[in-house]
Amino acid sequence: MSKRKKVNRAWLAQHIDDPYVKLAQKHGYRSRAAYKLIEIDDKHHILKPGAKVIDLGAAPGGWCQVAADRVGSTDTAPIVVGIDYLGMDPVPGTIVLEMDFLDDAAPDKLIETLGDAPDVVLSDMAAPTTGHRQTDHLRTMYLCEVAADFAMKVLKPGGHFLAKTFQGGTEQALLDRLKKNFRAVHHVKPPASREASAELYLLAKGFRGETES
């Protein structure tokens, strides 16, 4: 058996036995990742009723589900907009754009679709894996930086930014920018994030309403 097949089997066994996978299936969430956002929001309260939300890298839709429920987004008055180049089934209360966030037209299209500046920008984006750990790490860190740039251009004053990053991987220059532009910046690892995973979430709260390079 090849090493790759062994790894895939090990991952599948872990996935099947994962309590968060079972919870997601029980409660109708599209991914276990929904619980990462639930746990972060339960502690930090970034998804308040009426808040307008943009979700970057939305597929398969777990974060959109949580955001729509918590802010009170409905099909008749949607205030959650997601984007992903992967196709996905519609999420109630959410408009999802099927396009690449790195497309030059994507930022304007997101704001046009939302109809206002967002109160919250979420990003669970991760680059497709190549199998080379350092390359995968750098590509996902790039997505975090692009998401942060977008958030600092579009957020309402007082707004929040949450994005996937990696342990020890956040560039100091990005952290410095966020600290200048937000009242508080945290690295958070919710219980739903597997202990063996290097992923962390970068949470910047209380946008000051100005961008500094």
List active site positions. 164
* Structure token digits, residue 151: 């958030």
* Structure token digits, residue 172: 């100091």
* Structure token digits, residue 140: 């996902």
Reduced to 3 states (helix: H, G, I; strand: E, B; else coil), residue 55 is: strand
For the chain, the first-to-last Cα distance in angstroms comes to: 51
| 92 φ/ψ sector (left φ>0, alpha ψ -120 to 50, else beta) | beta
What b/e sequence results for 184-205 when a residue is b if at least 16 CB atoms lie within 10 Å of its CB, and e otherwise? ebeeebbebbeeeeebbbbbbb
Check if the beta carbon of residue 127 is closer than 8 Å to that of residue 139: yes
Check if the beta carbon of residue 126 is closer than 8 Å to that of residue 140: yes
